[in-house]
Amino acid sequence: MSVSVGTTDPVHEQGHGGAVETGKGNMRVTVENLTVRIASSKVVIVNDVSIEVAAGEILGIVGESGSGKTTLGLAMIGHTRRGLEISHGAIRLDGRDLTSLPARKMTGLYGSAMTYVPQDPGTALNPARRIGSQLREILTVHGVSKREADERIREILGEVGLDGVRHVLSAYPHQLSGGQQQRVAIAMAFACRPGLIVMDEPTTGLDVTTQRTVLNTVRSLCSKYGVAAIYVSHDVAVVAELADQVAVVYAGKIVERGPAARVFGSPEHPYTRGLLRAVPSAERRTRLRAMPGVRPELGDPSPGCAFAPRCSISESRCHHVSPVLVAVPAGSDGSHSARCLVAPGVGTREAMALDLRVLDAVDDQHEEADSTVVLQVSNLSAHYGTKKVLHDINLSIGKNECLALVGESGSGKTTLSRCLVGLHRGWSGEVRLSDEEITPGVSQRSRDALQRMQYVFQNPYASLNPRRTVGGLLLQPLEHFTKLGRRERNQRVVSTLDAVSLPRTYLAKYPDELSGGERQRVAIARALVVQPQVLVCDEVTSALDVSVQASVIEMLRDLQLDQELSILFITHNLPLVRSIAQHVAVMSDGRIIEQGGTDSVLDNPQAVYTQQLMEHLPSFEDPVRSVGLG
């Protein structure tokens, strides 16, 4: 039995056993006044969102963690996570309202008319089942015959670039790389030729080269099959490159929306501007501007604009009147709109432009930095068991210098940092810290050597003991490394807390009470409190939002200047390197393949690998900066 589907009626009965004509491209998705809340407490997570996506168009939803962007993305295919409910609004897929459909019909639509690409395919693919059966299932469950499904799978594997991978269909998810897993998830999403696809940060865990190919695949498949796509991400650069339309979400509301070029080229909402100012540029060294304050709690009952407490141009009315989305510039066609009482008004554009002009290149006080070498690594090679993972590493860090160690996942950069601080002892070679040679294992090192090199972990949610207060966390290393008296210890703790810009009231707080950025400040303070010469920072901002990242990076920059600190900054993020580091070493496959001054390496990369990295960066063409500076 075959149920034919007209292009005008994608919402159709499809009992199991009935065949379904797939190929439902060219649909328009309209969301009206969509509100999602927590079912028990009625706390609103997505607030009165109206938006539209046309066939073949990609809508980028941009926001920071806690903004409600993922909830919004999922709600646009009528799905809510457990405990949440769509309390209001309509989602129209070619005119029919999904919110009024019975669950059975929604089940028929999922996977065929609307599909979802998860953030982490490593957890979204079933670990106990083979790739082939998981791929075939999405077709057969919608009535495609087995033979036809196999044919379609062959075709789609070619389209996502997995046709060259041997045994991919008989593999289990864990046998594939992250990039391959994500391509499987994308193949799955496009297999039934859906009309609407929601993608939730699908490239977050991927390195830039893989990200580039995945983004290209997504774009070509969307236009080839006329799919309306929603791309949820915190990564402004990726969205700027991929999306046709953009919606910026803050505290559950769309604060600005419009064509991507307009929103990123001439942002009107102060939050959008703040976000863009916080994003580091790969092209030019800039100071990053963090937004002051923190996002409001979910369900914050305060009236007025949710962004007002953090806003540089807010007026007193902003705290009482809730703004609506209005066309910008005032009186235009409404394709670009912002939810702000002040910004679209006459006279503010000048103020905002001035505001943007502050984005100077960072004054480089380091050019004539002290040439004293603090950390010298010579011919370091490391092993895991019998496997050699690092090959003849040579590098040095001068006093007051920040050296960035760049590489993709698996390049060996974290291994190198663990060798240096003594957490991995299987290495040979020579490491000198201020002319004193240090031993591989942390247990054989002198107290002095340990104190002079401190380590900050990637994830501040895991690296702080939850049962100690901030004060206790900072006192512990002092008690271990120094013989300071009680008063001096307390003074040191307080001054360190000042240095990382945390108020003294935080001494009594527990890590649970702090935000991610505050936790990372505490972790950095814990390293700084013993006054080390070298700080090893392993991806210290990768778990943080971009606006929080900006504040942590600027804090490190200030510390480096004020406290004569040398920093080994490990990251995969090239724009961040440009912002903070004076020198850079590029790692690949356990070797340093290129090193030198940051500007010369990034402007004129010599190694093919570095060239590729730069080339594959999402080309966020700095529209704000050119506008602001122009």
Partner 1 sequence: MLLQRVPLGIVTIWIVTMIVFAATQLLPGNAALAVLGKNATPERLAALEKQMGLDQSPVAQYWHWFSGLLQGDPGRSLVNQQTISSLTGPQVLNSAALVVTAGILGTLIGVAVGLVAAVLRDSPLDHALAATALAILSLPEFVIAIFVTVLFSTNVFHWFPAVSALPPGARPWDHVSMLVLPTIVLVIVIAPYVFRMMRAATVEALESEYGEMAGLKGLTKRQVLLRHALPNAVAPTVQAIGLNLLYLAGGIVVVESVYNYPGVGQALYQAILNKDVPTIQFLVTLLAAFYVIVNIITDVLALMATPRRRLQR
Residues that bind partner 1 (CB under 8 A): 16, 77, 79, 81-82, 107-112, 115-116, 118, 120, 123-129, 137-138, 141-142, 172, 174-175, 188
CB 201 within 8 A of CB 234: yes
* Minimal distance, residue 108 CB to partner 1, in Å: 6
- 175 φ/ψ angles, rounded to the nearest 5 degrees: -85, -5
Residue with Cβ nearer partner 1 (185 or 470) = 185
Give the shortest CB-161-to-partner 1 separation in angstroms: 20
> Starting at the edge strand that comes first in sequence, how are the strands of the sheet with 373-384 ordered?
387-398, 373-384, 427-433, 436-437
What is the smallest separation between the CB atom of 96 and partner 1, expressed in angstroms? 17
What the block records as the tokens of 279 is: 């994003």
Nearer to partner 1, 1 or 103 (CB): 103
- Identity (one letter) of the amino acid at 608? V
Cα–Cα distance measured from residue 118 to residue 121, given in angstroms and rounded to the nearest whole number: 6
Least separation, in Å, of the C-beta of 185 and partner 1?
8
Please state, as a whole number, how many other Cβ atoms lie within 10 Å of the Cβ of residue 209: 16
In this structure, the strands spanning 326-327 and 29-38 are unpaired
Q: How far is the CB of 232 from partner 1 (least distance, A)?
A: 14
Q: Token match 């009236």: residue?
A: 303
Residue 133 vs 495, nearer CB to partner 1: 133
Query: Concatenated DSSP letters for 467-490?
Result: TS-HHHHHHHHHHHH----HHHHH
The minimum distance between CB 31 and partner 1, in angstroms, equals 18
Comparison of 110 and 271: residue with beta carbon closer to partner 1: 110
DSSP per-residue codes, 368-437: T----EEEEEEEEEEEETTEEEEEEEEEEEETT-EEEEE--TTSSHHHHHHHHHTS---EEEEEEETTEE
Cβ-based nearer residue to partner 1, 141 or 497: 141
Provide, rounded to whole angstroms, the least separation between the CB of residue 37 and partner 1: 19
CB of 535 to partner 1, least distance (A): 34
In terms of CB distance, is 192 or 255 closer to partner 1? 192
The distance of closest approach from Cβ of residue 137 to partner 1 in the complex, given in angstroms and rounded to an integer, is 7
Give whichever of 117 and 613 is closer to partner 1, judged by the CB atom.
Answer: 117
| Alpha carbons 412 and 449: distance in angstroms, whole number | 23
How does strand 19-20 pair with strand 2-3? parallel
d(CA 281, CA 237): 10
How many CB atoms are located within 10 Å of the residue 117 CB?
Answer: 26
Least Å from the CB of residue 260 to partner 1: 26
The answer for residues whose C-beta is within 8 angstroms of residue 237's C-beta and 6 or more apart is 279, 575, 617, 618, 619, 620
CB 343 within 8 A of CB 352: yes
Phi, psi (deg, nearest 5) at residue 381: -125, 145
C-alpha closest to that of 215 among 542, 616, 609: 616
CA–chain centroid gap for 68, Å, is 15
Q: How far apart (Å, rounded) are the C-alpha atoms in residues 247 and 171?
A: 38
Residue 165: count of CB within 10 angstroms of its CB: 16
The C-alpha atoms of residue 294 and residue 64 are separated, in whole angstroms, by: 11
Given a contact cutoff of 8 angstroms between Cβ atoms, the answer to whether 181 and 127 are in contact is no
From the CB of 582, what's the least distance to partner 1, in Å? 38
CB of 107 to partner 1, least distance (A): 6
Closer residue to partner 1, CB minimum distance, 138 or 342? 138
Q: What span, in angstroms and rounded, lies between the C-alpha atoms of 384 and 494? A: 41
CA quadruple 433, 439, 443, 447: dihedral positive or negative?
negative
Nearer to partner 1, 138 or 237 (CB): 138
Q: Which is nearer to partner 1, 79 or 468 (CB)?
A: 79
Please state the closest distance from residue 172 (CB atom) to partner 1, in A. 4
The CA-based diameter of the chain, rounded to the nearest angstrom, is: 85
Q: In the complex with partner 1, which residue's Cβ is closer, 170 or 365? A: 170
Per DSSP bridges, beta strands 228-233 and 196-200 are parallel
Residues 6+ apart with CB under 8 A from 98: 11, 77, 78, 90, 91, 92, 106, 109
Report the nearest approach of partner 1 to the CB of residue 163 (Å): 21
- How far apart are alpha carbons 476 and 474 in whole angstroms? 6
C-beta of 16 vs 154, nearer to partner 1: 16
End-to-end CA distance of the chain: 64
Residue number, 198 or 246, with CB nearest to partner 1 = 198
- Between residues 188 and 544, which has the closer beta carbon with respect to partner 1? 188
Q: In this structure, what DSSP letter does residue 361 have?
A: B
Tell me whether residue 156 or residue 282 sits nearer to partner 1 (CB atom). 156
Query: Least distance from C-beta 126 to partner 1, angstroms?
Result: 4
| Shortest distance, position 504 Cβ to partner 1, whole Å | 41
Contact between 576 and 590 (Cβ < 8 Å): no
In the bound state with partner 1, the residue whose beta carbon lies nearer, of 122 and 259, is: 122
